[in-house]
Amino acid sequence: MAKEIVVSGIRPTGNLHLGNYMGAVTNFVKMQYDYTCYFFIADYHSLTTHPNPADLHNNVRQVLIEYLACGLNPDACTLYIQSDLPQIPELYMMLNMHAYKGELERVASFKEKARTQPDNLNAGLLTYPVLMAADILIHKAGKVPVGKDQEQHLEMARTFGNRFNRIYEKEIFPEPYAFNYGNNLIKIPGLQGGSKMSKSDGDANVISLINTPEQIRKKMSKAVTETGPLMVDSIPSEAVQNLFNLMKIVSTDEKLSHYTKAYANCSIRYGDLKKDIAEDLINFLSPIREKITLLQADNKLLAKVVKQGREKAQESAANTLKECREVIGFKSFL
Ligand code: TRP
Encode pLDDT of 182-236 as tens digits: 656 678 889 987 878 988 888 999 999 999 999 999 999 999 998 878 888 889 9
Which pLDDT score is estimated for 185? 65
Which pLDDT score is estimated for 13? 82
Assess whether 173 and 95 both reside in one domain: yes
Helix residue spans in 42-150 (DSSP H): 43-46, 53-70, 87-96, 101-105, 108-116, 123-126, 128-137
- Does 189 reside within a domain? no
Q: CA–CA separation, 35 vs 76, rounded Å? A: 9
Question: What residue type is 256 in one-letter code?
Answer: L
pLDDT tens column, 287-334:
999 999 999 999 999 999 999 999 999 999 999 999 999 999 999 898
Which pLDDT score is estimated for 184? 61
Q: What is the CATH number of the domain that holds 207?
A: 1.10.240.10
* CB of 132 shorter than 6 A to ligand 1: yes
- Does 207 reside within a domain? yes
Lowest mean pLDDT among 70-74, 128-132, 177-181, 242-246: 177-181
Assess whether 106 and 153 both reside in one domain: yes
Ligand 1 binding pocket mutation candidate from 28, 38, 45 (most atoms within 8 A of CB):
45
Q: Which atom of ligand 1 is nearest to the CA of 128?
A: 1
- Does 186 reside within a domain? no
**Element (DSSP H or E) covering residue 161:** helix 151-167
Assess whether 285 and 304 both reside in one domain: no
Number of domains in the chain: 2
**Protein residue closest via CA to atom 15 of ligand 1:** 10
**280: CA distance to ligand 1 center in Å?**
32
- Does 74 reside within a domain? yes
- Does 288 reside within a domain? yes
Q: Is 203 helix (H, G, I), strand (E, B) or coil?
A: helix
Which pLDDT score is estimated for 148? 85
Assess whether 168 and 242 both reside in one domain: no
**19: CA distance to ligand 1 center in Å?**
17
Question: What residues make up the domain containing 310?
Answer: 5-179+299-328
Which pLDDT score is estimated for 200? 84
Assess whether 216 and 265 both reside in one domain: yes
- Does 187 reside within a domain? no
Assess whether 72 and 14 both reside in one domain: yes
Predicted TM-score (pTM) of the model is: 0.93
* CB of 143 shorter than 6 A to ligand 1: no
Assess whether 96 and 244 both reside in one domain: no
